[in-house]
Chain A
Amino acid sequence: MPEISQSAALSFREAIDRHSLHEHFADLPQQREAAKLGMWVFLATEVMFFGGMILGYIAYRNAYPAAFQAGSVHMLFVAGTLNTALLITASLFVALAVHAAREGRRKALVWCLAISMFLGVCFLGVKGYEYYQHYLDHKVPTRTFQWDGPDPRHAEMFFVLYFFLTGFHALHMIIGVSILAFIIYFAQRGRYTPEYHNPVENAALYWHFVDIVWIFLYPMLYLVGHTHV
């Protein structure tokens, strides 16, 4: 950081403090650390939240492997793979956005966030298309569920888990996209500085977490049916 005069530094600090520092924190680094830790603790909660559903998946797949493989055959493999790529790329741009925020490059920040948000919306679009195809295919586990292979009950269980897991994931995506929209709005107005950009960092952590969930969902749901006999 270049040397700046004492008085300039002070007024700069005050300006930031007025906007960004809550009065019960001693200084900005303390506030930033607190916000970051809070986010990680929240993500631990989220891990357990998805963990409960993943436990359900493991327990039932262990009990009914054939039905799960047969169910997975009906997944749209291309769409799932495309979505994985979309999310990973979105994660990259969010990481680049944090990078830009740390360096105080407002334009790069806004653009990177906008690209990730766009990729996130694309993801949701593809997901919606998949849901629609499953609906047409009578694979939504309600009364209209149809299954002509053996063991329909447990094949339906696969679809129940599919819709639970991807549904909750999509919900997180929707929240993530909305958060990014807010961040973009504030970033454009120059709210974030190299000293204060906790919301960008935390939104990025959340976004990466949602990405990680998908990284596990993808092989669990899309890839188990290819070698089905």
Chain B
Amino acid sequence: MVDIIDVLLTHGPALIIAVPLFGAFLTPLISRLNDKARNIFVIAVMGLTEFIVLLLAYDIFTTNGVHTYTFGSKQPLLTLPSGYLVPVRIIFEIDGLSIFMGIIAVTLALVASIYSWSFMRKEDGLDKYYTLLLLLTTGMLGMVSTGDMFNFFVFLEITSIASAALVAFRVNKGESQEAAFKYIVLSSIGALFVLFAVAILYGQYDALNIATLANRIRYTFLDKVALVLLVASLGMKAGIVPMHMWLPDAYGEAPASVTIAIVAATQASLYALIRMCFTLYGGITSVATIGWILIILAMASIFIGVTMALLQSDFKRMIAYAAVAEIGYMVLGIGVGLALLFSRTPYSVKAIQGGIFHIINDALDVGLLFLVAGAVFYATKERLLDRLGGLARNMRYSTIFFIIGALAVAGMPPMNGFASKLLIYESTYQVSPILAVVAILASILLLAVMVKIFHSAFMGPPLVKAADVPKTMLIAMAILAALIIFFGLFPNIVVENMVKPAADALINQATYISQVLGGV
């Protein structure tokens, strides 16, 4: 038994990619048998992936270590060819932050696959749907765990192609095709600029490994151009404000189960942005400038997200704009941390912890709200708030889940959003009190948005007939709701055991580098 766990841990970084990928390749074959077998198979593959990820996470969080894996070399840990100083092969490097993001990605994907069981039952083309869902999971896990720039680009493309195809799933609706086209055009341009930046770095240092590049980087003019390209394109993929146009469309038009997977994909891009700023360019003092730029963009995201959310009349688009504002809070935490990184104040660490904690909270909260929106759509076939009303009478469980999610997004105690937003406010206050006040006010406006949805959809006279949704959808929502309440009641446990190791891993650039270049 211990041997099996050892093997799983040693080969874990490869297995978290290989297992869902193998599942994706097998899905078209299995779906020829029957539909139920395919659904069970997909959920089992997701569950197995989740198990391996959690196993790796337990090991990483308890030992505070970094797992590396060199593909195709004589030992998994042999990062450099013997007697040589340059890593030649592709290396996976999984530290606290990577596995933290991995947990988010695979949990949301698992919830999405459970939710799809009933939610998508009446659609056709489901074998391709499940294949693409597994491929999207693979792409996200690859993005967060790779330690190689070009490999990152490949997984970025897998993620964006799979999510674009999934956004276009309702093929007869022009809107969803339009949203998918917008999404794939913007993401492929973004990915090409990432590749351009990778090529610039490769041309100067003849290396593709992130740790090696971080070690060799000299901050020439070309490096700064590459940094700008990376920040702009990954910021676009993460939906930060001037480049957020695709996000409400894609979130709003995709089926709800797809939307929460895309929420995770967006956060994987945000992870990449953080990784590039802190690890690849971490030793440069002018990275504080990037921190300030991120703070400004974050404030713009919060402002535009909240105000646009108030103006919407469509259930899902409203939540999508609230998600833009939530992205703003995460970036605010990260930006403050980056701006204060070299002043060595404890608030820098606190801001980074707040930002990272908010990533998982946002995934859970916004994910739950989208699932409730999907449940409302499933029960009523209506998306416009004007035509909804009185749902609380017939959809009791969904209403409870909506209240939980809404309070969490608005940052009300005792939900998890409060715990992380408090960390962000505290540290932002150190930079500029005005920014903190604006952020708090925006949070109150978010509550107003949620109250508006609640009032017009769930209260008042019933305008449409509705019955509560099938059990599997309720189970999926209950998983997220339970996690939200757990994180809200015991934020210290989560911060101590998960967020703190993740933030430490992000700040300690030297550990990341020595894991590849030093140790072995």
A and B are interacting partners: no
**Residues of B participating in the A interface, judged by any CB pair closer than 8 Å:** none
**Residues of A participating in the B interface, judged by any CB pair closer than 8 Å:** none
